[in-house]
Chain A
Amino acid sequence: MNRELIKYPLYLIVHPFNGYWDLKYEQSKRNNLILSFAILFLLIITNILSNQYSGFLVNLVYPGSINSVMEVLYVVVPVLFWCIANWSLTTLMDGEGKFTEIFTSTCFALLPMILINLPWIWLSNVISLQETSFYTFSSNVAVFWSLYLLFVGNMTVHQYTPSKTIATILLSVVAMGFIAFICLLFFSLVQQMLSFVNVIYQEIVLRK
């Protein structure tokens, strides 16, 4: 059972059509969720480690800007925004996917970014400047692989045609922008309100 649990995501990333079909109709929802959170967690760890330990030639980061909490946000927030935006759109566009399915399919699609980038953290320490093109190449491969998986996953989960999937993906990206905007608006408004209350409180307290 446990072995199956590890083998399944690895099967999925090389056979995305079958894999995502299984994800939607065969696999247990509980296992999928466990795997998804594990993948998210591993991705965060990979990013943090890569920031800290990647070779000097490929990893020129201002030491003051390294922040593990932000790395968590950089992974969790986009995934969350993507899932919400995609779910909101596909419910209106006859998508068959449930929110959990969208979430799990997205998380599974991120697996190549772990599998390729994690070994490169060590490998990047033993390459020269000329060989860094291999590094950039493989991280690009990881990104495109993940994008492809995301595409197939979305298509399978919602039972869409390819063109409709592309359209929804593009629209979802736009919707993500809207969500980000509304979030910013919300937070700044809350901030304004809080500071307003604070000012009134101070006025009352300091008044003699």
Chain B
Amino acid sequence: MRKSIHTWRVYLLLVLCSLLGVSMGGTLVYAEDSASSYNYSFWGDTVAAPSAYEATELLDGNKLGVGPFKEPNDLHVTEEQMIYVADSGNNRIVVLDSSLKPVTVVDSFERDGQKETFNNPQGLFVTDQKQLIVADTGNKRVVKLDQNYKLLSIIEAPKSDLLAGNFDFQPVRVIADKAQRIYVMSTGVFDGFMEFSQEGEFTSFIGANKVKVDPTELLWKKLSTKAQRSQMIMFTPTEFTNLDIDGEGFIYATNGDKWGDSIKKLNAQGNDILRRTGYFNPQGDVRYIGAQGPSRLVDIDVADSEMYSVLDSVRGRIFTYNGDGHLMYVFGGIGNQMGQFKTAAAIERMGDRFLVLDKAFGEMTVFDTTQYGRTLNEAVRSYYKGDEEKAFELYNEAVNMNANLEFAYSGIGKSLLRKGDYKGAMQYFEESYDRANYSKSFLLYRKQVLREHFAAIMTVIIVLAAVTLVGRRVRKRRKGGVAIES
């Protein structure tokens, strides 16, 4: 009896020890990578993902020594990593260097010997020649300054047959392409962006959004009288909310469309050529609370290798997509903690870092990559450059850190496909639900298998055919024999 109790105790101790071991192992794994971000699976489920970016620094005007920002609206980072902030409420442009130290403050310029100031400048852009273009919204003009902030030219409200007589020029965002053409986004313009030539002449509108008609609205309109109809809201295309330009001169634009394509990549003709081959069209959040509604994208920033990021003002999140339209990572949010915003107004990429401007707090948050974010960025870059070998490695690394990252499997599959490992590629494509590429690698695999086993397959077919032929003949002869015998 006593002995049995003793053995029981031993067993109990063993069980307890093993339980302890299990729980310790569990916490160890958990501590290593705590998921704090999310991504969308092929099925539209929100799946946990490690965070790709983390807030490292919070800058405001006081900290920088230039006085507090007041409702800053836009920011721009040049290739030399100089940062330009449009501090709209203070009617000035603040310039910072790459180490986030203030260089200068531009609040006025000389015009015909007279000093002129900005009035609520909402947008700015810096060209390759370091020319500063400011959308001086309050003064209804676009100001172009050279690298020493001396006036080059001013674009006033244009006059053209394309414009209505009572046209109100309210430039809010500007960009310029390599050919020095300036594209202006003006409030209340539904026809797209206004394109100005090098000389500052208005040439045309580009990239108008399509009119979306609500069927019920249309029915009411059909049923109502002319007088009633004139009281109703007109069907107008949605306005753009922001724009950016990439190295090849394509304009990336966001608009306030709730159901349509809210991100566009416009070519010189104004056609949308954005690739939407991801699991969902790039649009910010796919799942959301009905009361909050879909993402409202207010800023877009194009990086190298066709990556682009958009800013959702509803939930303060930044979504980054690769050129194929796959969601890479999400970060940010609304709140009072570091890395969260009240009214996020603008984003800009500074190398691999992110700057996010909060209009309400007058602050700028700096985000740095985590190991995961770096790997993912580099993986997309290597694949874009055509460095299959490196992309394969990096995608594998990324998948090891986040097994839910479905599009990365497709990246691995593509490199395997190039290498000639068709079967492996098939598995990875299936993992990422990439049917087109699966089919492609399957066809190659099938051909390969059939070629390898051609001799065996043909032998089997011929033997089978021969056997059936002989068998049939034998059976016939037997039957015939029976008939003769009887």
Name which of B8-16, B245-253, B431-439 contacts chain A. Answer: B431-439
Report whether B43 and A57 are in contact in the complex, using a CB–CB cutoff of 8 Å: no
Q: Which A residue sits closest to B437, measured CB to CB?
A: A129
Whether A128 contacts B443 by the Cβ 8 Å rule is yes
In the complex, the answer to whether B438 meets A57 with C-beta atoms within 8 Å is: yes
Interface pair B439/A57, CB less than 8 Å apart = yes
- Interface centre among A56, A60, A62, by most chain B C-beta atoms within 10 angstroms, is A56
Assess the B439–A128 pair: CB atoms within 8 A: yes
**A129 and B439 contacting across the interface, CB-CB below 8 Å:** yes
A121-171 contacts to B (CB < 8 Å): 126, 128-130
CB pair A129–B435 under 8 Å, yes or no, is yes
Q: What are the residues of chain A within 8 A of B430 when measuring CB–CB?
A: 56
Report if B446 contacts A (CB, 8 A): yes
- The docked-state distance in angstroms from the alpha carbon of A60 to that of B41 is 14
> Complex: how many Å from CA A128 to CA B441?
9
In the complex, B280 has a CB within 8 A of chain A: no
Choose from B43, B435, B443, B446 the contact partner of A56 (Cβ within 8 Å). Answer: B435
Contact between B43 and A129 (Cβ–Cβ < 8 Å)?
no
Contact between chains at A128 and B442 (CB < 8 Å): yes
Chain B minimum-CB-distance residue to A56: B430
Considering the complex, which residues of chain B in the window 405-442 have a beta carbon less than 8 Å from any beta carbon of chain A?
430, 433, 435-436, 438-439, 442
User: Which of B43, B442, B446 counts the most chain A CB atoms within 10 A?
Assistant: B442
B446 touches A57 (CB 8 A): no
Q: Which residues of B contact A129 (CB under 8 A)?
A: 435-436, 438-439
A60→B438 contact, CB < 8 A:
no
Q: Among A62, A126, A128, A130, which residue has its beta carbon within 8 angstroms of that of B43?
A: A62
Chain A residue at minimal CB-CB distance from B44: A62
* Whole-angstrom CA separation of A62 from B433 in the bound complex: 11
CB-defined contacts of A56 to chain B, threshold 8 Å? 430, 435, 438
The CA-CA distance from A51 to B299 in the complex, in Å, is 44
Q: Could you tell me if A60 and B439 are in contact, using CB atoms closer than 8 angstroms? A: no
CA distance A207 to B112 in the complex (A): 91
**Please, how many residues of chain A have a CB less than 8 angstroms from a CB on the other chain?**
8
Q: How far is the CB of B433 from chain A (nearest CB, A)?
A: 7
Considering only CB atoms, which chain A residue lies closest to B441 in the complex? A128
User: Given the complex of chains A and B, what is the CA–CA distance between A56 and B439 in angstroms?
Assistant: 9
* Per-residue contact bits, chain A 57-80, to B (CB 8 Å; 1 contact, 0 not): 100101000000000000000000
CB-CB nearest in chain B for A63 = B43
Least CB distance from A55 to B in Å reads 9
Per-residue CB contact flags for chain B residues 28-64 toward chain A (1 = under 8 Å, else 0) read 0000000000000001000000000000000000000
A99-127 contacts to B, CB under 8 A, are 126
CB distance from A86 to the nearest CB of B (A): 38
Give every chain B residue within 8 A of A62 (Cβ-Cβ). 43
A57 CB contacts on chain B under 8 angstroms: 435, 438-439, 442
Alpha-carbon gap, A130 to B439, bound state (A): 8
Q: Whole-angstrom distance between the alpha carbons of A203 and B430 in the complex?
A: 55
Beta-carbon contacts under 8 Å, B95-127 to A? none
Docked complex Cα distance between A56 and B433 (Å): 9
- Complex CA distance for A13 and B43, rounded to whole angstroms: 39
Query: Which residues of B have CB within 8 Å of A126?
Result: 446
Shortest CB distance A62–B (Å) = 5
Least distance between B444 CB and chain A CB atoms (Å): 10
A62 (CB) vs chain B CBs: closest residue = B43
A32 to B202, CA, bound (A): 83
Q: In chain B between 342 and 365, which residues have their CB closer than 8 angstroms to a CB of chain A?
A: none
Give A119 to B35 CA distance when docked, in angstroms. 44
Closest CB in chain A relative to B437 CB, distance in Å: 10
Residues in chain A near residue B433, CB distance under 8 A: 60
* Centre residue among A60, A128, A130 by max chain B CB count within 10 A: A128
- Bound Cα distance A129, B436 (Å): 7
- Taking CB atoms, residues of chain A closer than 8 Å to B439 are 57, 128-130
| Chain B stretch 440-474: residues in CB contact (< 8 A) with chain A | 442-443, 446
B438 partner residues in chain A, CB cutoff 8 A: 56-57, 129
Instruction: Determine the residue in chain A with the shortest Cβ distance to B442.
Output: A128
Q: What distance in Å separates the Cβ of A51 from its nearest Cβ neighbour in chain B?
A: 16
Please name all residues of chain A whose beta carbon is closer than 8 Å to the beta carbon of B43 when the two chains form the complex.
62
In chain A, residues 8-64, which have Cβ atoms closer than 8 Å to a Cβ of chain B?
56-57, 60, 62
Interface residues of B in 366-422 (CB under 8 A from A): none
The chain B residue sitting closest to A130, CB to CB, is B439
Contacts of B446 in A (CB 8 A): 126, 128
Instruction: Give CA–CA (A63, B27) in the complex, Å.
Output: 29
Shortest beta-carbon distance from A75 to chain B in Å: 25
Closest chain-A Cβ to B436's Cβ sits at a distance in Å of 6
Smallest CB gap from B433: residue in A: A60
Q: Which 3 A-B pairs rank lowest in CB-CB distance, beginning with the nearest?
A: A129-B439, A128-B439, A128-B443
Give me 15 A-to-B residue pairs in the complex whose CB atoms sit less than 8 angstroms apart, sorted by A's number: A56-B438, A57-B435, A57-B438, A57-B439, A57-B442, A60-B433, A126-B446, A128-B439, A128-B442, A128-B443, A128-B446, A129-B435, A129-B438, A129-B439, A130-B439
Besides A126-B446, A129-B435, A129-B438, 14 more A-B contacts (Cβ < 8 Å) are A56-B430, A56-B435, A56-B438, A57-B435, A57-B439, A57-B442, A60-B435, A62-B43, A128-B439, A128-B442, A128-B446, A129-B436, A129-B439, A130-B439
